[in-house]
């Protein structure tokens, strides 16, 4: 087996994957932060259970295995007890995950600028009690000007340590690139947030094909309705991550808007040119084009 790259943040450690006992059919859901992780967990749940009604919160059905903010032994016990097809959350890039031929690895990409603004909204929604437990270096106040914060995010090198959330442009591009470079392998599936927004039934159908789940066209449309942004926001107490740990000021505000393109109000033409110069330093042209698709 190839040597795995270790990824660490203040909330996760990919080393927790090393000895995980996989089962044939497991699904590993690995989008970068704020690129549609909860959305993809919901879509998997709809297909695997063939229902929109669950007997426990989504975060318990699809736990975050390598989160250090949870009891790892309890997480592993939960996964061991599950008899249904397991779909497991992580934010670890593909080169940090054990790779098995009978496991499916799913990533979701998103326009990085949208992901950055979405993370800012999420960070502002974290409950003060949760922030107080973090390293003071992580909890320090960010730059007051939103454009300054954008350039801190865009210009930073890849961050891989326990003093940050690991949310930078370099981290996001690196994460997606580990999937992009292996996207033609049958166990690897790469989705785009914009496609989920534009054609949710079509993307749910594609996911069913990736997971080899047979489902009728009528049922696809019925299940997709339960995964629209408004429906998920209305069930925030069941579907938002971290509800068991009281992570958010408001569970509903975790699903704040789900819109794209808000960065246009922040970046003028000169800023966009600067951003473009930065992003082409991090990824090949075809990946840059794919990430920034309208």
Kindly state the percentage of the chain with pLDDT values over 70.
88
Closest CA to 12 of 76, 78, 89, 95: 89
What is the reported pLDDT for 120? 85
Mean per-residue pLDDT over the chain, rounded: 91
Is 91 labeled as catalytic in the residue annotation? yes
Q: What is the pLDDT of residues 9-68, one digit of tens each?
A: 999 999 999 999 999 999 999 999 999 999 999 999 999 999 999 999 999 999 999 999
Measure Cα distances from 37 to 91, 114, 273 in Å: 9, 14, 29
Instruction: Give the helix/strand (H/E) hosting 88.
Output: strand 87-89
Give me the half-sphere count of Cα atoms (radius 13 Å) on the Cβ side of residue 57. 17
Write down the H helix ranges in the chain: 37-49, 58-61, 72-81, 112-125, 128-132, 136-139, 146-155, 169-180, 193-198, 200-210, 217-226, 229-234, 236-239, 269-279, 285-291
DSSP secondary structure string, 247-274? -BS-SGGGGS---S-GGGGT--HHHHHH
Per-residue pLDDT for 280 more than 70? Answer: yes
What is the reported pLDDT for 136? 52
What is the reported pLDDT for 244? 67
Per-residue pLDDT for 248 more than 80? Answer: no
What is the reported pLDDT for 144? 82
What is the reported pLDDT for 262? 87
Per-residue pLDDT for 105 more than 60? Answer: yes
Place of tokens 């210009």: 155
Per-residue pLDDT for 141 more than 60? Answer: no
> What would the mean pLDDT of 216-225 be, rounded to a whole number?
97
Set out the domains of the chain in order of their start, with CATH numbers: 14-291 (3.40.50.300)
What is the reported pLDDT for 236? 85
The pLDDT-based confidence of 240 (bands split at 50, 70, 90) is confident
Q: What is the pLDDT of residues 221-233, one digit of tens each?
A: 999 999 998 999 8
Per-residue pLDDT for 249 more than 90? Answer: no
What is the reported pLDDT for 2? 73
What is the reported pLDDT for 242? 72
92 and 15 Cβ atoms separated by less than 8 Å: no
What is the reported pLDDT for 195? 97
The pLDDT-based confidence of 237 (bands split at 50, 70, 90) is confident
> What would the mean pLDDT of 163-191 be, rounded to a whole number?
97
What is the reported pLDDT for 191? 98
């Amino acid at each position: 087996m190839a040597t795995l790259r270790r990824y660490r943040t203040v909330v996760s450690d990919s080393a927790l994957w090393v000895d995980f006992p996989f089962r044939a059919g497991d699904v590993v859901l690995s989008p970068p932060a704020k690129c549609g992780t909860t959305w993809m967990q919901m879509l998997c749940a709809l297909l695997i259970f063939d229902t929109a009604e669950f007997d426990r919160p989504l975060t318990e059905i699809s736990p975050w295995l390598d989160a250090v903010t949870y009891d790892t032994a309890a997480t592993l016990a939960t996964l061991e007890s599950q008899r249904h097809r397991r779909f497991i959350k992580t934010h670890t890039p593909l080169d940090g995950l054990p790779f098995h031929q009978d496991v499916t690895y799913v990533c979701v990409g998103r326009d990085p600028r949208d992901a950055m603004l979405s993370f800012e909204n999420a960070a502002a929604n974290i409950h003060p009690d949760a922030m107080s437990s973090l390293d003071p270096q992580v909890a320090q106040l960010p730059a007051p000007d939103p454009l300054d914060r954008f350039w801190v995010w865009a210009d930073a090198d890849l961050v891989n340590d326990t003093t940050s959330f690991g949310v930078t442009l370099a981290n996001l591009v690196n994460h997606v690139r580990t999937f992009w470079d292996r996207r033609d392998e049958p166990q690897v599936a790469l989705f785009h947030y914009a496609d989920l927004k534009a054609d949710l039934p079509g993307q749910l159908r594609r996911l069913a094909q990736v997971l080899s789940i047979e489902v009728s066209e009528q049922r696809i449309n019925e299940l997709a309705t339960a995964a629209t942004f408004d429906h998920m926001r209305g069930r925030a107490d069941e579907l938002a991550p971290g509800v068991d740990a009281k992570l958010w000021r408001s569970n509903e505000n975790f699903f704040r808007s789900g819109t794209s393109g808000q960065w246009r109000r922040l970046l003028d033409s000169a800023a966009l040119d600067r951003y473009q110069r930065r992003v082409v330093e991090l990824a090949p042209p075809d990946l840059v084009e794919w990430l920034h698709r309208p």
